[in-house]
Amino acid sequence: MEKMIGVIGGSGVYEIAGLENAAWISVDTPWGAPSDQVFTGTLNGVKMAFLPRHGRGHVHTPTTVPYRANIHAMKAMGVTDLVAVSAVGSLKEAYAPGDFLIVDQYIDRTFAREKSFFEPGLVGHVSVAHPACARLSAACAQAARGTGVQVHEGGTYVAMEGPQFSTLAESRLYRSWGADVIGMTGMPEAKLAREAEICYACVAMITDYDCWHPEHDAVDVAQVVATAMKNADKARALVAALPGLLAAPQSECPCGCTRALDSAIMTAPGKRDAGVMAKLSVVAGRVLKG
């Protein structure tokens, strides 16, 4: 299988020197339009696809991001390795604004989003016990270290609905759970990537201490944007290093990401809705054929 690296993140992540044959491409999906067109190109001989999660100009709220359309578009483009770059708040003293954390677990506290490609007429249950691809996460950590940023490998991301930031009581609650960072877009993105059998990793860029820290002001947009802008160059350098770490062709992921649907479909073949099967022909076609 030909390697293609996908990146979902801020609008500036795709501004990488050396990207060849760059073009914006529109992708249609059964779940409507993605957040934006997909920016494609080739970097050091590896195909790349970039999608601004909130759209250029930040037009989508965390709730209205079309997560299913975004993941479908990445799968349809041929993405094999999908890296999410996300701004988050820290829930631990040791994880400071400006640091990067490679996420390996999630607590999903969202409630107003469609979280699965499967629906009545075609029922599927996929395991997300280990939602991040260890192989891809390790490559992201290596690439991040090369930028000189402080990198923390492994951590739990609390996905909140938003768009408001946490109350102090909520922030303290999430800390008591042992969570490491908090954000608004990690779910259902990671779950949908698993259903689509795409290797997925999240690079969390820490911008603030949420509101729990007694020596820091409560988080606001200006603080988040300022820290994110300081880290923009390092995020681009991280992405630019990935082709060199992930260029080798690979038919199967050793973590099992590419076979996540092997035993997921519950609906008997004779009871499967043809319309739903058609909608899922891209993300689940491997197990629906025949």
* Structure token digits, residue 123: 């029922």
Q: How confident is the model at residue 218, as a pLDDT?
A: 67
- The Cα 276–Cα 222 span in angstroms is 43
Instruction: Write the pLDDT tens digit of every residue in 132-143.
Output: 999 999 999 999
Predicted confidence (pLDDT) at residue 78 exceeds the cutoff of 80: yes
High-pLDDT (> 70) share of the chain, %:
96
Helices 134-145, 221-246: inter-axial angle, 10-degree rounding: 110
For the residues 77-104, what does the mean pLDDT come to?
Answer: 96
Distance (Å, whole) CA 175 – CA 166: 12
Domain spans, the chain: 4-288
Enumerate the H helices of the chain as residue ranges.
67-77, 134-145, 168-176, 189-195, 221-246, 274-279, 285-288
Separation CA 203–CA 199 (nearest Å): 14
CATH homologous superfamily for the domain 4-288: Nucleoside phosphorylase domain (3.40.50.1580)
Q: Which residue has the higher pLDDT, 290 or 218?
A: 218
Q: What's the pLDDT band for 219 if we cut at 50, 70, 90?
A: low
What is the arithmetic mean of pLDDT over 160-165?
96
Q: How confident is the model at residue 11 (pLDDT cuts 50, 70, 90)?
A: low
**Per-residue pLDDT at 220 exceeds 70:** no
Query: For the chain, first and last CA: distance in Å?
Result: 21
Give per-residue pLDDT as tens, 231-247: 888 999 999 999 999 98
Alpha helices, DSSP H, located in 167-284: 168-176, 189-195, 221-246, 274-279
DSSP-derived secondary structure for 13-28? TT--TT-EEEEEE---
d(CA 79, CA 200): 10
This prediction has a pTM of: 0.95
Q: pLDDT of 22-73, one tens digit each?
A: 999 999 999 999 999 999 999 999 999 999 999 999 999 999 999 999 999 9
Q: State the CB neighbour count (10 A cutoff) for residue 107.
A: 16
HSE-up (13 A, CA, CB side) for residue 40: 15
Catalytic residues: 208, 210
Angstrom distances, CA of residue 82 to CA of 73, 102, 165, 169, 274: 12, 13, 27, 34, 29
